[in-house]
């Protein structure tokens, strides 16, 4: 039977095979801990805490906006037009835009995660030219957002002129497949 | 206060208020799941060397493919820029690559002078016609594989913000000598080094703080005792040789303590030890066995296996409160949890219909599902430090062999190193 006391007072009871250098001392481990790991752990803690804070704020916000003005929580307008009125033209273009953006969106499966999605607002002129886009909801992951911006910048022009200004929101939200 | 609410409202609308963002168009399937990339043969700056070129092709193909991010455009389609030593954004003919629909371009060149080797590597953004990252490495020919692994790690960091771990080590157990001993290799199975010569049975390695040492269990003295060993100096110490089990030790994320199973009092329980083997705390005290601890990345929780309710299931211990919660409820045999580096998932092996497959479950107990399927026992899953990959063993060929796959279960391949059984991987840093 091996006694605990033996192993504690003589940690190297089994001789080292090539005892050229001592093991990491407690101080060295402490240093590693200080320099490297603690920083990362603190960073992760902060991220976790800030996520929790944002969630809490969102809930408070949702509660307060419901109490004040129900309409303010509607983030996006109706299909198609700037004022959110919705037109048939808008509906027709939606299918085309969806197909085009899908085809031009490259996203490795490493980034198909439940928590990652972003929303872009696209604006087109009466001749169908893209007048601009704006990321109105970032995924928080720079690579994911870049992949979305890249797809959107590929869409220079609609296949036919809508005849009026068009503004619509597009949500890029890959399903995490199992 | 009212002002606060208005500001908050403005901020929160931009972040989609709880995920229920109603957009006009919703795209749930990206058209491409890999970035079309041009990757012509690296060209010689002096005399050509077929062996160097073969190694470059092998390492780049392995790493780029395993990453799952790139689709290499077939070389038959390349135009003359592929054969030109154009390594600056001013010189590269981006129109040719754009014509081939490449979004990225990886080019390189090498020079061999005796044992010395110079390697120039470049990553270009084809659309923006600019250099994203590049390196000129100088070293010996034996360092070529490592230069290439490092470059792919850098490519991943440039594109995603998270560095890759191709330039890292896997510790594993092999029976190549007839005894189970501890070995280290590159993650593609090259550069194998034997670490132990205990001539008995070595089990269950884990890397210590900074990746500079290993802990493992060995029957060298005929009892499953716990050892620490420095990788660089080969200095070794037995740190826990208590009667009975001293097994499955895992360093805490800060490297200060070890979680381990001891059975000195007759029943297998979890303990916290100092790095010198001194008991800091007993963590569990229940009927049944408590084994295979895995730390959360924050170091505030430990997932482990217990049969306290009958069948082996995964439980989570909160170290602050001491509270233990059951994580898995399905299956009759769940083993070897591994907490992901981002804290999101816990991997484990489950026995179903006579075969072990690897499952994952969110750390809050939701979304449980298998990520491997079919025959062959897949066991002992361990994460790469960047959370992109999983190493494990599979006995589909008749004996346990190390395998590697992406975190979603795709891209499976064998890690070919030594003949015979290879198992119990642990992934280290370099």
> What pLDDT, in 10s, does the model give residues B257-299?
999 999 999 999 999 999 999 999 999 999 889 999 999 999 9
Would B35-160 and B169-427 be classified into the same CATH topology? no
Find which of A1, A9, A17 to mutate to test the B interface (most B CBs within 10 Å of its CB). A17
State whether residue B234 sits within 8 Å of chain A by CB.
yes
Residues A56 and A109 in one domain: no
Q: Do B34 and A108 touch (CB under 8 A)?
A: yes
pLDDT band per the 50, 70, 90 thresholds, residue B209: confident
Could you tell me which residue, B5 or B261, shows the higher pLDDT? B261
Q: Does the pLDDT value for residue B18 go beyond 80?
A: no
Residues A6-24: tens digit of each pLDDT: 333 333 333 333 334 445 5
Q: Which H or E run contains A149?
A: helix A142-154
pLDDT of A25 > 60? The answer is no
Place of tokens 């160097």: B52
Both tokens assigned to B69: 């991010």
Are B368 and B337 in contact, with CB atoms under 8 Å apart? no
CATH, residue A99 = 3.30.1150.10
| Mean local confidence (pLDDT), A28-46 | 55
Q: Show residues of chain B in contact with A174, CB under 8 Å.
A: 28-30
Residue A8 lies in a domain: no
Q: Are residues A146 and A96 in the same domain?
A: yes
Question: Is there a contact between B160 and A143 if contact means CB atoms under 8 Å apart?
Answer: yes
CA proximity to B208, closest of B242, B231, B235, B184: B231
The residue assigned the tokens 């190694």 is: B55
Nearest to A11 among B27, B237, B298 (CB): B237
Could you tell me if A97 and A161 lie in one domain?
yes
Residue B98: the pLDDT is 95
Q: What's the mean pLDDT in B136-140?
A: 97
Which two three-digit tokens encode residue B176? 């190549």
Across the range A52-81, mean pLDDT stands at 48
The CA–CA distances, whole Å, from B3 to A1, A53, B6, B10, B13 equal 72, 19, 5, 11, 16
User: A92 falls in which pLDDT band (50, 70, 90)?
Assistant: confident
A52 and B CB contact within 8 Å: no
Token digits for B370?
Answer: 């298998």
**B169-427: CATH, from 3.40.190.10, 3.40.50.970, 2.30.110.10, 2.120.10.30:** 2.120.10.30
The distance of Cα B292 from the centroid of its chain, to the nearest Å, equals 18
Strand segments, DSSP code E, in B35-161 are 35-38, 43-44, 70-72, 104-113, 116-125, 130-140
Report the sign of the C-alpha dihedral through residues A8, A14, A17, A18, in that order.
Answer: positive
Nearest in space to B295 (alpha carbons), one of B247, B348, B259: B259
Does A117 fall in a domain? yes
pTM, to two decimals: 0.81
The mean pLDDT value for B133-144 works out to 96
The burial of A156, by beta-carbon neighbours within 10 Å (0-12 exposed, 13-18 middle, 19 or more buried), is given as exposed
Burial label for A169, CB within 10 Å (0-12, 13-18, 19+), is: buried
Give the model confidence (pLDDT) of B393-404 as tens digits. 999 999 999 999
Among the listed residues A109, A107, A143, the one whose alpha carbon sits nearest the alpha carbon of residue B161: A143
Q: Let me know if residue A75 belongs to a domain.
A: no
B158-205 residue pLDDT tens:
999 999 999 999 999 999 999 999 999 999 999 999 999 999 999 999
Same domain, A104 and A166: yes
Beta strands in B378-421 (DSSP E): 378-383, 389-394, 401-406, 413-414
Does some domain include residue A138?
A: yes
Three-state DSSP class for residue B192: coil
- Domain B35-160 top-level CATH class: alpha beta
Nearest of B413, B292, B406 to residue B33 by alpha carbon: B406
Q: Mean pLDDT score of chain A, rounded to an integer?
A: 69
Q: How many CA atoms lie within 13 A of B367 on its CB side?
A: 15
Please name which of B346, B316, B339, B421 lies closest in space to residue B377, comparing C-alpha atoms: B421
Q: What pLDDT score was predicted for residue B429?
A: 74
CB contact under 8 A, A169 and B299: no
Same domain assignment for residues A66 and A97: no
* Listed range (A111-115, B18-22, B189-193, B357-361) with the worst mean pLDDT: B18-22
Inter-chain residue contact B243 with A104, CB threshold 8 Å: no
Tell me: ipTM over 0.85: no
Banded pLDDT at A109 (limits 50, 70, 90): confident
- How far apart CA A122 and CA B345 sit, in angstroms, is 35
Same domain? For A98 and A145 the reply is yes
Residue B6 has pLDDT above 90, yes or no: no
Give the pLDDT confidence score for residue A71 in this predicted structure: 37
Q: Which pLDDT score, from 0 to 100, does residue B413 have?
A: 96
**Are A94 and A54 in a shared domain?**
no
Domain count, chain A: 2
Is A153 within a domain? yes
B235 contacts in chain A (CB < 8 Å): 16, 18-23
Query: Can you list the pairs that B89-95 forms with residues at least 24 positions away whose Cβ atoms lie under 8 Å?
Result: B89/B124, B89/B129, B89/B130, B89/B131, B92/B124, B92/B129, B94/B124, B94/B126, B94/B129
Residue for token pair 């899908």:
A102
Burial class of residue A87, CB neighbours in 10 A (0-12, 13-18, 19+): middle
Cβ within 8 Å of B, A 76-135: 76-80, 90, 94, 97-98, 101-112, 114, 117, 119
Structural domain contains residue A79: no
* Residue A81 pLDDT exceeds 90: no
Q: How far apart are CA A98 and CA B31, in angstroms?
A: 11
Considering only the beta carbons, identify the residue of B8, B213, B235 that sits closest to A16. B235
Record: contact A62-B299, CB cut-off 8 A: no
Q: Is residue A143 pLDDT above 50, yes or no?
A: yes
Mean pLDDT of A136-157: 94
Give the domain range for residue A48.
26-70
pLDDT above 70 coverage of chain A, percent: 48
DSSP character for A61? H
Chain A residues with beta carbon closer than 8 angstroms to that of B197:
17
| Rounded distance between C-alpha atoms, residue B40 and residue B108, angstroms | 8
What proportion of chain B, given as a percentage, has pLDDT over 70? 95
Chain A within 8 Å of B236 (Cβ-Cβ)?
A: yes
Assign residue B277 a region: left if phi > 0, alpha if psi is -120 to 50, beta otherwise?
Answer: left
């Amino acid at each position: 039977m091996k006694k605990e006391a033996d192993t504690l007072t003589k940690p190297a009871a089994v001789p080292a095979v090539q005892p050229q250098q001592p093991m990491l001392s407690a101080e060295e481990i402490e240093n590693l801990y200080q320099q490297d790991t603690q920083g990362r752990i603190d960073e992760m803690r902060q991220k976790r805490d800030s996520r929790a804070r944002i969630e809490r704020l969102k809930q408070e916000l949702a509660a307060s906006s419901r109490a004040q003005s129900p309409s303010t929580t509607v983030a996006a307008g109706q299909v198609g037009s700037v004022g959110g009125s919705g037109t048939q033209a808008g509906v027709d273009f939606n299918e085309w835009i969806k197909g085009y953006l899908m085809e031009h969106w490259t996203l490795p499966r490493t980034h198909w995660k439940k928590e990652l999605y972003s929303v872009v607002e696209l604006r087109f002129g009466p001749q169908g030219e893209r007048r601009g886009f704006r990321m109105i909801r970032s995924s928080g992951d720079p690579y994911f957002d870049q992949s979305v911006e890249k797809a959107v910048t590929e869409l220079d022009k609609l296949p036919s002129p809508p005849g009026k200004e068009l503004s619509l929101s597009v949500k890029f939200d890959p399903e995490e497949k199992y | 206060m009212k002002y606060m609410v208005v500001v908050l409202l403005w901020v929160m609308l931009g972040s989609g208020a709880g995920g229920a963002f109603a957009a006009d168009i919703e795209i749930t399937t990206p058209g491409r799941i890999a970035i079309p990339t041009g990757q012509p043969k690296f060209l010689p700056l002096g005399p050509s060397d077929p062996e160097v070129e073969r190694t470059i092709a092998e390492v780049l193909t392995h790493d780029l493919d395993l990453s799952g991010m790139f689709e290499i455009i077939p070389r038959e389609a390349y135009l003359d820029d592929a054969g030109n030593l154009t390594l600056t954004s001013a010189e590269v003919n981006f129109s040719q690559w754009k014509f081939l629909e490449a979004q990225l371009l990886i080019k390189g060149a090498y020079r061999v002078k005796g044992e010395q080797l110079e390697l120039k590597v470049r990553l270009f953004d084809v659309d923006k016609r600019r250099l994203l990252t590049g390196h000129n490495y100088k070293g010996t020919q034996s360092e070529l594989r490592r230069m290439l692994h490092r470059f792919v790690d850098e490519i991943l960091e440039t594109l995603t913000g998270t560095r890759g771990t191709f330039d890292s080590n896997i510790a594993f157990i092999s029976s190549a000598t007839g005894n189970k001993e501890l070995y280290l290799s590159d993650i593609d199975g090259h550069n194998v080094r034997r670490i132990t010569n205990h001539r008995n049975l070595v089990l269950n390695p884990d890397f210590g703080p900074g990746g500079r040492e290993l802990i493992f269990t060995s029957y060298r003295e005929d009892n499953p005792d716990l050892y620490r060993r420095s990788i660089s100096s080969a200095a070794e110490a037995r740190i826990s040789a208590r009667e009975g089990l001293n097994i499955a030790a895992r360093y805490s994320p800060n490297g200060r303590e070890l979680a381990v199973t001891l059975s000195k009092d007759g029943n297998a329980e979890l303990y916290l030890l100092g790095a010198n083997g001194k008991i800091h705390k007993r963590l569990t005290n229940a009927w049944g066995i408590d084994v295979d601890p895995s730390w959360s990345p924050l170091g505030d929780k430990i997932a482990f296996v217990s049969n306290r309710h009958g069948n082996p299931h995964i439980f989570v211990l909160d170290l602050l409160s001491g509270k233990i919660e059951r994580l898995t409820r399905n299956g009759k045999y769940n083993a070897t949890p591994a907490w992901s580096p981002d804290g999101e998932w816990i991997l484990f092996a489950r026995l179903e219909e006579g075969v072990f497959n690897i499952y994952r479950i969110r750390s809050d107990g939701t979304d449980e599902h298998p990520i491997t399927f079919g025959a062959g026992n897949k066991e002992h899953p361990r994460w790469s430090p960047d959370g992109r990959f999983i190493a494990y063993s599979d006995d589909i060929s008749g004996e346990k062999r190390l395998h590697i796959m992406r975190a979603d279960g795709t891209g499976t391949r064998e890690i070919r190193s030594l003949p015979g059984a290879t198992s119990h991987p642990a992934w280290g840093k370099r």
